[in-house]
Amino acid sequence: MPESSKRPPRLILASSSPYRRELLERLRIPFDVVVPAIDETPLPGELPEQTALRLAQAKARAVAVALAGDGRALVIGSDQVATYDGHQIGKPGTHEKALAQLQAMRGREVRFHSALCLLDSVSGGVQTINAITKVRFRDLPDTLLDAYLRAETPYDCAGSAKAEGLGIALLDAIESDDPTALIGLPLIALTRMLLAAGYPLLAEAR
């Protein structure tokens, strides 16, 4: 059997997120990053979990199509949507919008839908999951919310708080089956998917 046939499939992260890249690096396996070019606007009447799952699959498919003919690859697509009281929360982008988000969420439970897709570029096989994380925010005054934002500037995070950093001080409780899901990439689910796809996960760890 040729040596090349024994090689594991190429692993590709279809994302522009530095947080997802950092999470995937924890597995100590080789991977490439390809940024998908898709429209991430929610569809009319689409539920938040539907948006997250659709976009996770769309990202993976877009990258798989772009790399067609380059051999087998396992493409990871992920998307996260946060909601409270039926309101969808996006990335704030500015200090003012981030402060408004935190003011609206204080004392409330926020649900983070972290969708994940693993697509086999050759077989077309797709595995998906929506990991739900329930987060209760503390009821903190504006002065502390403003101080947090100026310290960590989490303007590229849905919900305006980095649970892996100082943002943990804003949270009263987290309920999840996958602790990395809140940061943006559910690693427990991903490793399950990779093993199911036949990827030699631990053998490839470096």
Catalytic machinery residues: 79
- Token pair listed for 72: 């087998």
The token pair at 140 is 């903190």
CA distance 204 to 195: 12
What spatial distance separates the first Cα and last Cα of the chain, rounded to whole Å?
25
Please tell me the distance from the alpha carbon of residue 11 to that of residue 72, in angstroms, as a whole number. 9
CA distance 178 to 184: 11
Residue type, 146: D
Q: How far is CA 110 from the centre of its chain?
A: 16
